[in-house]
Amino acid sequence: MKKCIFTLCLFLLPLWGGRVGLLYSIEKVESPSLNLTAYFDVQEGRPVYWLLHKGDTVIRPSHLGLTIRGEKGRTDFNDFGTKERPTEEVNGLLSGFVMTGSERFIHDSWWEPVWGEERRIHDSYHEMLITLTQPAKERYIQIQFRLYDDGLGFRYIFPQQKNLNYFVIEEEQTEFAMPGDITAYWIPGDYDTQEYEYTRSKLSEIRAIQENTNKANLSTTTFSTSGVQTPVLFKTNNGLWMNIHEAALVNYSCMHLNLEDNHVFTSHLTPDIDGTKGHIQTSATSPWRVIMVGETAKDILASRIVLNLNEPCKIEDTSWIKPMKYVGVWWEMIAGMRDWSYTWDFPSIHIGVTDYSKAKPHGRHGATTENVKRYIDFAAKYGFDGVLVEGWNIGWEDWFGNEKDFVYDFVTPYPDFDVEGIHDYAKSKGVKMIMHHETSGAIRNYERWLDTAYQFMRKYEYPAVKSGYVGNILPIGEHHYSQFMNNHYQYCLEKAAKYHLMVNAHEAVRPTGLCRTWPNLIGNESAQGTEYQAFGGSVPNHTTMLPFTRLIGGPMDYTPGIFENDIHKLNPNSHSWCNTTLCNQLSLYVTLYSPLQMAADLPENYERFRDAFQFIVDVPVEWDTVYYLEAEPYEYVTIARKQKDKNAWFIGSTNGYDPRTAMIDLSFLPAGQKYTATIYADAKDAHYRNNPQAYTITTKTVTSKSKLRLFTAAGGGCAIKIVPKQ
């Protein structure tokens, strides 16, 4: 099935000793179907690229390169006790270049993900590999461009050589010169959180909007009021859609974009503890910088460029990696109805010091054996694969303490959580337990315990762990998205693979398609999730943005399924409101793709709406293929999926602020057959604030010629299940 063609045209090689040839022409590469053209040139010693879509400029001429320190190798560096940092190199890897090589490759293949939105993925690109030599420094780097029909990926390659062994990145200076004052869909730059709502504005408005937000003190580690995070979505003034992100973020710092004058974004890497942007030992590569381009917003959803730019799967036996639908002892704590901690005694001091068996319980602990068994029963009754339990292990009394470096051990349960008994009970019911590791950002502590914690999971047959990184990172001064932390997330993921464990990391760096290489990364949060509905409420259109932005890099553990909007009913002290209709919540199981889907509400709330809950019971987490039906970021999104190995189709339409009629064309269904559609729709008078639980459930005979017109309320949506008619 695999078809790979490689062709190579070698123009010139970077050779020292008299054989350095120079290329003077502008280099170009075209995408397989010729819709995109990327150009490369060296202008006054500086590398420059630009990108055209059918003759239209999408990226204006933009510089490439990096400023660095300590270029001459390790011996220059601070190895001998001197306090001096390596000094910044004049021009670094920024200028003084001549082009000494330009090669071309063609690639065309298909590959099968372990799990994903579709069974097979087409990987087809034209590559241009440029070699850039700095004669004055007697060294060279390469820039690798891969042009797909759905976008451009490029990265820096730092080959190992006499004059380039080790260096510190001062800043990556990649530019993205946008084609004018276009519309951006963005969240502000931040080294430590992505849990923001999206703003739609012109580029020229970004700074003022952020300055006003900063006045309200909403942002914590924003580095600049014109910084944004990726994936960032754009609509050009000619109606093209673009998205800038990165792929394969490994052993490197996470990239932000900073808007400079003249609508030019420059890369801004997350600093490490000493303020530099990363430590490179050659041979090395940067992550791919990705510019997705589409004629419609649906093209952005259909693009697989980020996955394609990642390495193939590195796990040989993947039989243990299984998508899961789960419930959990979670929303009760998020809503403030129960607690993660066990005792009033505060602080708990440190591991081994507090005797929890003598501590005074406050009686609001969520992870009690009894409560967990209730969730196991519920999961077994409705066919859920797993039960997540948070707050099962000691340490929660102390997790904001200064000494949190020693809070958790990830293996000692609270006295009222019977780990053995729960394991046996879940097993007897055919339900898997999902582990929870809240690291509280204490990285050394977590790494210290990691093997023990993963062995504990194996012993009690937990197939997956939800890890979390709430709060400031320890060591103090590190940020959530620095090279150091990205290496930590990778370390956990690879170690988990060795133990055959799946990972769903919250507050970790945004995903960049690494789930292709490490498919045991079955989830990430890395954006504002459902929890914010209990922290004051999310804006009703938040989930209409996620498929076009956050989900570009990989699936999100969004944890949908809240049926009871009024958090006050769970917690008298809360006045939060979940700003969606019930049908909007159902739609999310289809529109927010994830191999890991939670039914986040309490069992009793599902029993109250038993008929609507049936959609969550029925919706699968494994798919054969996807059909993007309607897409207008910030407004609405409608997606259909075919269940893996089954003749069943599921449709979700997620709506934002304005009530509308979703136009659902069923022509993706195989023709010549009749089907039964079960339609979960907002009632005519439904509204996310005033009447969120008003819905209708109807059945209808449909064919591939049917076109459904379905009302979706403000903050509303609809969900449909289609099966062949009996």
Active site residues: 531
Question: What is the per-residue binding string for ligand NOJ in 530-559, x denoting contact by CB under 6 A?
Answer: -x----------------------------
For residues 168 and 281, what is the distance between their CA atoms, to the nearest angstrom? 9
> Measured from the CB atom, is 365 or 506 closer to Ca ion?
506
544 contact partners, CB below 8 Å, separation of at least 6: 632, 633, 634, 635, 636, 637, 654, 655, 656
Dihedral angle sign, alpha carbons of residues 386, 390, 394, 400: positive
- Candidates 371-379, 477-485, 498-506, 625-633; binding stretch for Ca ion (CB under 5 A): 498-506
In whole angstroms, how close is the CB of 469 to ligand NOJ at the nearest point? Answer: 8
> Measured from the CB atom, is 456 or 558 closer to ligand NOJ?
558
- Give the count of beta carbons closer than 10 Å to the beta carbon of residue 569: 12
Burial of 412 (0-12, 13-18, 19+ CB in 10 A): middle
Backbone angles phi, psi at 114, to 5 degrees: -65, -40
> Measured from the CB atom, is 334 or 720 closer to Ca ion?
334
Q: Which does 438 bind (CB under 5 to 8 A by kind): Ca ion, ligand NOJ, none?
A: ligand NOJ
Joined tokens for residue 629? 């039906």
Separation in Å, CA 690 to CA 566, 568, 605, 660: 11, 15, 18, 17
Question: What is the per-residue binding string for ligand NOJ in 484-513, x denoting contact by CB under 6 A?
Answer: ----------------------x-------
Three-class secondary structure of residue 235 per DSSP: strand
In whole angstroms, how close is the CB of 528 to Ca ion at the nearest point? Answer: 8
Name residues contacting Ca ion, limited to 85-114 (CB under 5 A): none
Q: Which does 390 bind (CB under 5 to 8 A by kind): ligand NOJ, Ca ion, none?
A: ligand NOJ
- Candidates 35-43, 159-167, 501-509, 713-721; binding stretch for Ca ion (CB under 5 A): 501-509
Separation in Å, CA 507 to CA 407, 457, 670: 19, 21, 41
Residue of 4, 10, 34, 470 that binds ligand NOJ (CB under 6 A): 470
For residues 333 and 310, what is the distance between their CA atoms, to the nearest angstrom? 37
CB 162 within 8 A of CB 187: no
Joined tokens for residue 201? 């504005």
**Number of Cα atoms under 13 Å in the Cβ half of residue 295:** 6
Residue of 278, 323, 468, 715 that binds ligand NOJ (CB under 6 A): 468
Helix (H) or strand (E) holding 610: helix 610-618
> Measured from the CB atom, is 287 or 468 closer to ligand NOJ?
468
Q: Are strands 623-632 and 636-643 parallel, antiparallel or unpaired?
A: antiparallel
Name residues contacting ligand NOJ, limited to 388-417 (CB under 6 A): 390
Partners of 53 in beta bridges: 36, 56
Which DSSP string corresponds to 98-147?
A: EEEEEEEEEEEEEE--SSSSSS-EEEEEEEEEEEEEEGGGTEEEEEEEEE
- Helix axes of 443-459 and 483-498: crossing angle, nearest 10 degrees: 10
Q: Are strands 324-329 and 386-389 parallel, antiparallel or unpaired?
A: parallel
- Candidates 401-409, 411-419, 502-510, 661-669; binding stretch for Ca ion (CB under 5 A): 502-510
Separation in Å, CA 11 to CA 20, 23, 144, 170: 12, 9, 15, 32
For residues 431 and 83, what is the distance between their CA atoms, to the nearest angstrom? 56
CB 322 within 8 A of CB 462: no
Q: Which does 192 bind (CB under 5 to 8 A by kind): ligand NOJ, Ca ion, none?
A: none
Q: Which does 70 bind (CB under 5 to 8 A by kind): Ca ion, ligand NOJ, none?
A: none
Question: What is the per-residue binding string for Ca ion in 353-392, x denoting contact by CB under 5 A?
Answer: ----------------------------------------
Residue of 438, 564, 635, 682 that binds ligand NOJ (CB under 6 A): 438
Three-class secondary structure of residue 707 per DSSP: strand
Q: Which does 391 bind (CB under 5 to 8 A by kind): Ca ion, ligand NOJ, none?
A: none
Joined tokens for residue 520? 């045991």
Q: Which does 606 bind (CB under 5 to 8 A by kind): ligand NOJ, Ca ion, none?
A: none
358 contact partners, CB below 8 Å, separation of at least 6: none
**Number of residues counted as binding Ca ion (CB under 5 A):** 1
Which DSSP string corresponds to 389-435?
A: E-S-BTTGGGTTSTTGGGS--SS-B-TT--HHHHHHHHHHTT-EEEE
In whole angstroms, how close is the CB of 465 to ligand NOJ at the nearest point? Answer: 12
For residues 237 and 723, what is the distance between their CA atoms, to the nearest angstrom? 42
Strand extents, DSSP E, 441-507: 464-468, 502-506
Binding site for ligand NOJ (CB under 6 A): 330, 390, 438, 468, 470, 506, 525, 531
Can you give the binding site for Ca ion, defined by CB under 5 A? 506
